[in-house]
Homo-oligomer: A and B are copies of this chain.
Amino acid sequence: MTIFEKIIAREIPARIVYETDEFLAFHDVNPQAPVHVLIVPKHVIPRIAAASADDAALLGRMLVASGEVAKKLGVAESGYRLVINNGPDAGETVPHLHMHLLGGRDLTWPPG
């Protein structure tokens, strides 16, 4: 059981900002911007490379949900960056697919 499953099960606390039947969004414990939230599907897919065609609709709803999260956190107009890390070179840490949403400051380029 990863840390994200424990957060979803309310076994580990998190600063939750958004929840639906399918997704939980909460503040990153090591924020890299004034707004830095993780959007996590409750259904476990280890990483985006492991996603199949059957997961597409869920993943699309995750992207659409990010707009709701951005509104809720006041960065819909100022802007935000969505990031998904896959594998060692990207620094993927938890084998439970999640998407970072960062905003509230000027985000530089390259993205890491």
Contacts and interface: CB of A to CB of B under 8 A. Distances in A.
A67 B76 CA distance: 28
Taken together, the copies of this chain in the complex come to 2
| Interface residue tally on A, bucketed by range | 35 or more
A109 B102 CA distance: 12
Contacts of A6: none
16 contacts: A32-B110, A49-B67, A53-B64, A56-B63, A56-B64, A57-B60, A59-B59, A59-B60, A59-B63, A60-B62, A70-B86, A76-B87, A79-B87, A80-B86, A82-B86, A89-B106
Interface of A: 32-33, 48-49, 51-53, 55-64, 66-67, 70, 75-92, 100, 102-112
